[in-house]
Every structure is written in C-alpha cells, then in structure tokens.
Amino acid sequence: MTTTLKPKARPVARTRAVWIVGAAAATGVVWAAARGLGADLTADGRAVTLPAVLVTTVLVGLAAWALLALLERLTRHAATAWTCVAVAVLLLSLAGPVGAARTGGGTAALLAMHLAAAAVLVPGLRRTAAR
C-alpha cells in the first residue's frame, strides 16, 4: 500500500493572523522611518506613538478579518464585496491624516502608514477568502 503525503495547508486563521502582523510591521517600519527623517508625527495635537500605530493596525486588521468572515457566510462573492469595502474604507481613512497633521511631512508619513497597512491587508486577506 502506497500513501502519498500532501503538504498540510495552513489554517486560514493562522494565515490571516500573519497578514495582520505583517501589516502592523509595515506601519511600524513607516513610523520609524518617518521619525528617523524628522517628520512631526502629531495628529490633532497628540503625538502618534509606535504603540498606538501598532495597536490601531491590529484592530483594523481584526475588523477587516471579521467582515470578511461574515461576508463569506452571507455571499458567494465575499472576496469581491470585501475588497470593495476595504478600498472604500481606505479612501475614507485618508481624509484623517490630511486634516489632522500639522506639517506636510507629518501628513505624508501618516498617509504612508495608511497605505502601507492597506498594501499588506487588502491583497493578503483577499487571498484567504473562500472561493
């Protein structure tokens, strides 16, 4: 009797968690680069700290995951619907840094953090969607 071993597929939950951690790492790198370049990371009069950036990214990633899981249960087109919502949320979120930052460098850094999170989360979580 011959058995063929198939590589184990990664559980979806673990893969999604990895993408969220990756997004947090990406925003952390952008934050560190902006600080290193001397950008004023202040929004609405409050300092944008690394812990705040990391926690916010993880919370947004978890919310995105929850929405994707819900859509997978409700529709056969979860990936498409979720991607549309994710892009809309990204576009709305970009208004925050534009109005909140005090300097051009701060605005650019905050925008870059939003875009870095989206660049990891949107394609990463979309790949895990049930087909």
Tens digits of per-residue pLDDT, 10-53? 699 999 999 999 999 999 999 999 999 999 999 888 999 999 99
**Within a domain: residue 80?**
yes
Residue 5 lies in a domain: no
Is 2 contained in some domain?
A: no
pLDDT for position 6: 54
Alpha-carbon distance of 37 to 104, in angstroms, equals: 13
Least confident span in 72-76, 96-100, 113-117: 96-100
pLDDT at 120: 98
pLDDT of residue 3: 59
Q: Which domain holds residue 123?
A: 12-127
CA dihedral 114, 88, 93, 60 (to 10 degrees): -60
Helix, strand or coil for residue 129?
A: coil
Split into its structural domains, the chain has a count of 1
pLDDT band (50, 70, 90) for residue 97:
confident
Q: In which element (H, E) is residue 35 found?
A: helix 12-36
pLDDT at 5: 55
Q: Is there a domain that residue 110 lies in?
A: yes
pLDDT-derived band at 115, boundaries 50, 70, 90 = very high
Which pairing describes strands 42-43 and 46-47: parallel, antiparallel, or unpaired? Answer: antiparallel
User: Does 103 map to a domain?
Assistant: yes
Q: Based on C-alpha coordinates, what's the Rg of the chain?
A: 18
Task: Give the pLDDT band (50/70/90) at residue 2.
Answer: low
7 in a structural domain: no
- Domain assignment present for residue 54? The answer is yes
User: pTM for this one?
Assistant: 0.88
CA 30 to chain centre: 13
Q: Is 106 within the bounds of a domain?
A: yes
Q: Where are the alpha helices (DSSP H) in 37-77?
A: 50-74
> 90 by DSSP, 3-state: which?
helix
